[in-house]
A and B are shown apart, each in its own frame.
Chain A
């Protein structure tokens, strides 16, 4: 299996800073915004964003949470293996909030559909946006697109995109396995 680096640590760092700036551009003081990391992998990108906010923009008071959408997936009972469930932690009402869902990779769009259904359990948001680090084009199965993305890549079905978060940011890397 061939492994090719798509984004190195430096590129990821630049992208995360850019994503933070784009969020500030659209959400200003974040008073009515909630950032939601999607389990299991989106929570790491959320954490990196929060680190940048607290370091570079301490005046922004960010509300965030983690969402597991397993019970809303459309492939329940379609696999031999049980769907892995992770904890959700959303301690505020989502009613009339601007929600930004955060995940590492956008692929078929089915996870995002499940997440959008799931977030409704916490209230009716004013709007939902999507942020991803990697947008895998040409494999969408639903009409879902990201509002904010780190990089768009072209892949074929069998390719595997891995986002690896290291112990420190120098070890962060995104690679593709063919």
Chain B
């Protein structure tokens, strides 16, 4: 059985289709494990993982921690609000100090794009990117695409729509890379002010009319408006955004076919999506959360399998 082509998961940009296939195959097995009465395997009992979250997170942090614990890894958690970062320590110094405590793997979320890449070049450890600024969120994209594949089967030629704040979204970019690797057709829909320049060079199309875009797609991934990353106003107000780009039952009922609805969370109910849609049969939002643990177990397991124990014994 082939290994992953990478030693770190920095972004979907750096991996191949075979890697995605391997991650999904492995995630299938972990999903079965997660449905057993005892949902834990001992594979990573000799591995210590540090979760470094320099940005707020609820589900990603919990999902990673649960995935690590279900694999029997020792886990330490770190958040920037209670750390020496506040005292002026650099990221690389902080991580090197953590690694000196015999930590084997780093999961990092950071507000600066490229933080995971920077670490991978400057510290001797396996790095998993849990979101770096507006750049990438590879594990979210993998669990999104895994959830889509579970419902739609092969994504080759399937039409996937991404709606929302594309400009500030790391989920959008990682999803675009992942969907392209699986040969899906991608369209984005958003106010023009929230679409990055040159986005069409990634091989996707842009539509500003949500109803037209919805009638085209098999599934829609709805992204949150990221007010916290906005230094200026990109649209008049939430009400207007909701009227033009918010998903509600009325819009979905007008469609001639059933479409799947995804959302990476956290949800701003009433802005990008209405409650009647979140709880509808079209929504696979809770599937995404459930699959997140299995997909992250697969990623951590596969990366750990490349950390050969005989090599680490040589240094003892």
Which A positions have Cβ atoms within 8 angstroms of B?
Answer: 68, 70-72, 76-85, 87-88, 93, 95, 117, 120-123
Contacts and interface: CB of A to CB of B under 8 A. Distances in A.
Contacts of B32: 87-88
Contact of A82 (B2, B40, B42, B307): B2
A177 to B, nearest CB: 23
A90 to B, nearest CB: 8
**Interface range on chain B (Cβ under 8 Å from partner):** 20 to 34
A71 B43 contact: yes
Contacts of B41: 71-72, 121
15 contacts: A71-B301, A76-B43, A77-B46, A82-B1, A82-B3, A83-B305, A85-B29, A87-B28, A87-B29, A88-B32, A93-B37, A121-B36, A121-B39, A122-B38, A123-B37
Interface string B26-54: 10110011001111111100100000000
Contacts of A123: 37
Contacts of A84: 1
A85 B46 CA distance: 20
B250 to A, nearest CB: 42
B277 interface: no
B308 interface: yes
B310 interface: yes
Contact of B42 (A71, A77, A78): A71
Nearest to A95: B37
B24 to A, nearest CB: 12
B302 interface: yes
A81 B307 CA distance: 11
Interface in B140-188: none
Contacts of A78: 308-310
B304 interface: yes
